[in-house]
Each structure stands twice: as C-alpha cells, then as structure tokens.
Amino acid sequence: MANFEKMTQEEYKSLREFIYEKSGMFFSDAKLYFIENRVSKRLEALKCPSYRQYIQHIQRPSNQKELFTLFDRITTNETSFYRNPPQIDAFKNNLLPKLVKTVKESGRRTLKIWSSACSSGEEPLTLAMVVKEKAALLNGMSVQIFASDISNDMLEKARQGIYTDYSMRNLPDIYKQRWFKKVDGNYTVDPELKRMITYQRFNLVDYKSYYKFKSMDTIFCRNVLIYFDLKVKRDIINAFHQALNTEAYLVIGHAESLHNISKDFKLEHFSRAIAYLKP
C-alpha cells in the first residue's frame, strides 16, 4: 500500500464540509481517522498523490462519479433479507392490511411503497415477497415498489439480484425456496420479484426532487438518519411527510426515533416494532 502524508485538520474540515453540502452526511472531528482510511484507498486506486488534490478532484462537477464512489465507501451498506424481523412482520400483519383498506376506500387501485435507502436491494425484495404472500388480501390491487440509494454501486448490485448466504441469513426458508435459485454458490432472485421494483439513484437531501416519490403509502428509511445532523434529519422527515398520503406510514430503524425531529406523525406500537402514521 502506498504511503501518504497524514490528512491535516484543514483537509479534513474541507472534505467534511463538502460531503455535508452534497449529501447531508455529517462526520464529527472524531471521524478524521475513519475518513482518512477510506479516502487513502481512493488515492491509491486513482494514483492521486495527495488528499488536497483528491478533494479538488471530487469538487469538480465532471468528477461526480468519484464523489458517489466516496459516498459508497464512507457509508455502511450493512443489510440483509428480512432485516429486523419484527418490523417486517409488523408491515405484513398490521400495516399492509390497514393500507390496503385505506387505498381501496380512497378509490385508488395502486399501493405505492418506497424503500428510500435500499442499498443492494434486500429490503425492497423482502417487501415484494411479503406483498406476494398477501396476494389474497390485495384482491387484484397493484403494488409499485420504488427503491433508491445514493450509491450507484449498490443499485447495480440490486439490479443484478445475486446474493450470498450472508445476505440470506435472516430469510425464512419458505421465501428462499420460492423466490431464489442457487447458482454457483450464490442465490439469484426470481425475475417476477424484480419486475415489481423500480430502482433509481436518489440523494435524500435533494429536496426539490422528492416529487418523483409523491403519494406514497409507505416509506422505509431504516438505519439512515444516523448519518445526519438534527437539521438535515428534520428536513428529510418533513420531505417524507409531504411525499406520503394521508393515513400512510413511515418506518425507520428499530433503534431510531422521531423524538425532537417531527411532531407530524403519530407513533403506533406493534409486537416488538413501531411505525409512524401520517394522520
């Protein structure tokens, strides 16, 4: 591995502010060595001689692809199918029946779900499996699942739909057997599920573009708010609120809360899970 001069406080501050401006992600002073480690690998890959020159490189609009690569390296894309089972079970057994009833009563024929930080696609595919399991409940109603992420690399993996045993570790066998084919030691997802999902790159702080996700019945945004400061959290949750239909749900990470962020939602409790209703 190449040896670089250590990242200076000034370089770290400049990079941190640029990341915050472009993504809303905030990194404290204590994260200097974490960021330095991630960025040093990009310097090596690009044969860039210094942190200063790398920062100048990603600040050029023509090098936006590298900026997205950096976002990918400094975020944790830890995910799996059926992640946090109580939340998925609450969606299946509680939220989905309520939403189907609400949609039908409103005269609509389509239920719209948004997985807003889908990483490599396990979450939207899990929701698609659950929806397929509840086909009798839907009774002919169509379902659209939108899946977005800031990382092009993760979205490409999601579109490919090929997963390892590690990704499948929480998935009940009934889903595994029905929706996956094992090929060369990995699992390939059934194209029928993939057809339910529309993937696109989306930056959660690109507030003017939330119109692409209007009239949602459920938004999943799990384990993402940790990357943002209070102001950005409030702005994102407000944008989600505007994107949701009335009597629609927001699902965030099981360890996350809207306390001190928004009073526009009603907290609802389920078995070992919670969700936020837009009344």
> Are 110 and 34 in the same domain?
no
Tally the C-alpha atoms within 13 A of residue 109's C-alpha that lie toward its C-beta.
2
Question: Does the pLDDT of residue 3 top 70, yes or no?
Answer: no
> What are the contacts of 8-15 at 24+ separation with CB within 8 A?
8/51, 11/51, 11/52, 11/55, 12/36, 14/55, 15/39, 15/51, 15/55
Quickly count: other Cβ atoms within 10 Å of residue 61's Cβ: 6
pLDDT digits (tens, 9 = 90+) for 115-138: 999 999 999 999 999 999 999 999
Please state the separation of Cα 271 from the chain's center in Å. Answer: 23
pTM: 0.90
Q: Is residue 139 part of a domain?
A: yes
> Are 41 and 161 in the same domain?
no
Of 100, 90, 99, which is closest to residue 139 (Cα–Cα)? 100
> Are 119 and 249 in the same domain?
yes
Q: What mean pLDDT, rounded, does the chain reach?
A: 94
**Beta strands in 66-179, from DSSP E residues, in sequence order:** 110-115, 142-149, 162-163
Distance of alpha carbon 17 from alpha carbon 15, whole angstroms: 5
Residue 185, Ramachandran bin (φ over 0: left; ψ between -120 and 50: alpha; else beta): left
Q: Following CA atoms 235, 223, 30, 64 in sequence, which dihedral angle do they give, to the nearest 10 degrees? A: -70
Q: Is residue 80 part of a domain?
A: no
Q: What is the mean pLDDT of residues 21-36?
A: 92
Domain extent, residue 26, equals 9-74
Q: Is residue 176 part of a domain?
A: yes
Q: Could you give the percent of the chain with pLDDT greater than 70?
A: 98
Residue 215, Ramachandran bin (φ over 0: left; ψ between -120 and 50: alpha; else beta): left
Q: What would the two tokens of residue 192 be? A: 């029928």
Q: Is residue 163 part of a domain?
A: yes
> Are 67 and 187 in the same domain?
no
One-letter amino acid of 57: H
Q: Is residue 4 part of a domain?
A: no
Domain count, the chain: 2
Q: Is residue 112 part of a domain?
A: yes
With the C-alpha atoms ordered 13, 15, 16, 22, is the resulting torsion angle positive or negative? positive
> Are 37 and 160 in the same domain?
no
Q: What would the two tokens of residue 167 be? A: 């990704």
**Beta strands at 266-270 and 162-163: parallel, antiparallel or unpaired:** unpaired
pLDDT at 210: 97
> Are 169 and 247 in the same domain?
yes
> Are 42 and 160 in the same domain?
no
Q: Kindly state the DSSP code that residue 8 receives in the 8-state scheme.
A: P
- Residue 1: pLDDT band (50, 70, 90) is very low
Residue pair 251/87 in contact (Cβ under 8 Å)? The answer is yes
